[in-house]
Amino acid sequence: MGIREAEEATGISRQNIRFYEKQGLLHPARNKRNSYREYSDEDILRLKQIRLFRKLGMPLDEIRRLLEGDVDLMQALEEQERRLAVEAEHLKASRQFIKKIHDTSLEEMDVDRCLQSMEEEEKRGAVFGKFAEDYKKTALAETKRSFGFHPDTMCGKPEEFTLELCKYANENDLNLVITKEGMNPEFTIDGIEYTAYRFSGRYGITIGCEMKHPEDYIPADMSEDRYNRVRRIYRIVNVCFFLLIIVGGVYSWKGNAGALIIPLLAFAVYIGILIRWHQKNR
């Protein structure tokens, strides 16, 4: 059957089916006449298995090991149960901290003491350290979704465009493979598909590169829901940080830099609220 039928049979979107293929979890055959993917009954079963284990929150790397026979089902489930137990402890620590400050107003809150308490929890591997890991993974994933660079030439010809992409890949140690040449070339980096374009700006010619299917990309060891939540927080933090820079510039220009403490404290408290919201919905 084709990808449309596979989508209907498994309840998995075609974007995610393609993503699982890129991750090496699925290897459908190709029709020799038109090169279209053909999904066998075995492929459909594997997709349903992937869906089941993803619903249990199992990381893709662990699912791959399970399907390839590197671990048996009992080992994989015991390891996932251990992960869930750790997450449960994280949630418990978060709830306990919320109870401590539940009846405290913003004006009465001792921010230094709260931060110290959070840091102590981090040392014990509790919730706030886990969020920091999620945030770093998300920030790195955002840089992979789209990026750009300034080429050494005008890239006025397809061969020049290809050369500049290859030069960039060599300089940054990237596993880049050109799949389509032209003035809007296509390529892959570690199996992820990108398309490139050029534009002229204030600082000369820039090459922009974007994922063809950004909705498919999820960092390893993160569920789709958790990644989307942290990604929203990441975007909000960036906007808030940008606004703080503007506010700081205005206060400094007026000679009242000390007043910047208030928006900074508000920013810190707001980030704390976002973190707790993220952990509550994990």
> For 98-130, how does the pLDDT look when each residue is reduced to its tens digit (9 = 90+)?
777 777 766 666 777 777 777 776 666 555 666
> For 170-226, how does the pLDDT look when each residue is reduced to its tens digit (9 = 90+)?
998 888 999 999 999 999 998 889 999 999 877 789 999 999 988 777 887 777 777
Q: Are 60 and 51 in contact (CB under 8 A)?
A: no
Question: Which position has the token pair 């009992």?
Answer: 74
Q: Is the pTM of this model over 0.95?
A: no
**CA–CA gap between residue 47 and residue 30 (Å, rounded):** 17
**What is the 3 state secondary structure string of the chain?**
CCHHHHHHHHCCCHHHHHHHHHCCCCCCEECCCCCCEECCHHHHHHHHHHHHHHHCCCCHHHHHHHHCCCCCHHHHHHHHHHHHHHHHHHHHHHHHHHHHHCCCCCCCCCHHHHHHHHHHHHHCCCHHHHHHHHHHHHHHHHHHHEEEECCCCCCCCHHHHHHHHHHHHHHCCCCEEEEECCCCCEEEECCEEEEEEEEEECCEEEEEEEECCHHHCCCCCCCHHHHHHHHHHHHHHHHHHHHHHHHHHHHHHCCCHHHHHHHHHHHHHHHHHHHHHHHHCC
Q: Spell out the residues 6+ positions from residue 148 whose beta carbon is closer than 8 angstroms to its own.
A: 206, 207, 208, 209
Q: Is the pLDDT of residue 262 over 90?
A: no
Q: How many CB atoms lie within 10 A of CB 165?
A: 23
pLDDT at 245: 59
Q: Are 111 and 266 in contact (CB under 8 A)?
A: no
Q: Is the pLDDT of residue 161 over 90?
A: yes
Hey, what amino acid is at 180?
K
The band of 151, judged by pLDDT with boundaries at 50, 70 and 90, is: very high
Q: Is the pLDDT of residue 278 over 50?
A: no
The band of 150, judged by pLDDT with boundaries at 50, 70 and 90, is: very high
76-89 mean pLDDT: 86
pLDDT at 120: 72
